[in-house]
């Protein structure tokens, strides 16, 4: 008995958002929160992808006047320059290897704990922390559901 040898749908890997990093197979969740720590947007990328991939997905529809982010977002062409052109302010500490460090508001940067608190709440859901779902759309749906519960509490 012969099985079909017809080619299937090409696998691009984008529909699963699973990547290999030092710890094994993983997925990065990129999130955006408002001034109260409530989630306003999500994006997924493979585990080995840089954080700027999430910035490319989340920053174009940023409604806030101020973006508070960590050093990973210190990219001149992709983040720092487009924000003032859109009338927004960036509060991002400069990377240690910058030749001319930019100033940033240290007091305003302290509010970045809101995103860390949101991720701590999100990881309380076992299905999110361990990624039970194979497909990225199902995993993103679970993230949206958990975020809705967090928002309502």
Instruction: Report the distance separating Cα 150 and Cα 148, nearest Å.
Output: 5
Burial class (CB in 10 A: 0-12, 13-18, 19+), 77: exposed
pLDDT at 115 over 60: yes
How confident is the model over 84-107, as pLDDT tens digits?
999 999 999 999 998 988 999 999
Q: Which two tokens stand for residue 80?
A: 């720092």
Instruction: Report the distance separating Cα 68 and Cα 110, nearest Å.
Output: 9
pTM listed for this prediction: 0.81
Average pLDDT of the residues in 45-65:
89
How confident is the model over 18-43, as pLDDT tens digits?
777 777 778 889 999 999 999 999 99
- The pLDDT of residue 4 is 45
- The pLDDT of residue 14 is 52
Instruction: Report the distance separating Cα 140 and Cα 132, nearest Å.
Output: 11
How confident is the model over 124-150, as pLDDT tens digits?
999 888 888 888 899 999 999 999 999
Q: What is residue 17's DSSP assignment? A: T
Query: Using an 8 Å Cβ cutoff, are 28 and 56 in contact?
Result: no
Q: What is residue 29's DSSP assignment? A: E
Domains of the chain in sequence order: 19-152 (3.30.420)
Instruction: Report the distance separating Cα 30 and Cα 77, nearest Å.
Output: 20
Residue 88: strand, helix, or coil? coil
Q: Which residue has the tokens 């991720």?
A: 119
């Amino acid at each position: 008995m012969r099985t079909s040898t017809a080619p299937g749908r090409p696998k691009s890997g984008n529909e699963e958002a699973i990547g290999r990093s030092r710890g094994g197979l993983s997925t990065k969740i990129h999130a955006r929160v408002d001034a109260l720590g409530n989630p306003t947007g999500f994006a997924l990328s493979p585990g080995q992808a840089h954080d700027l991939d999430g910035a490319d997905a989340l920053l174009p529809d940023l409604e806030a006047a101020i973006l508070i982010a960590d050093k990973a977002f210190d990219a001149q062409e992709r983040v720092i320059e487009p924000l003032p052109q859109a009338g927004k302010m960036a509060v991002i500490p400069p990377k240690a290897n910058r030749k001319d460090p930019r100033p940033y508001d240290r007091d305003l940067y302290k509010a970045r704990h809101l995103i860390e608190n949101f991720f701590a709440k999100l990881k309380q859901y076992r299905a999110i922390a361990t990624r039970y779902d194979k497909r990225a759309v199902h995993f993103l749906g679970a993230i949206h559901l958990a975020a809705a519960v967090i928002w309502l509490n």
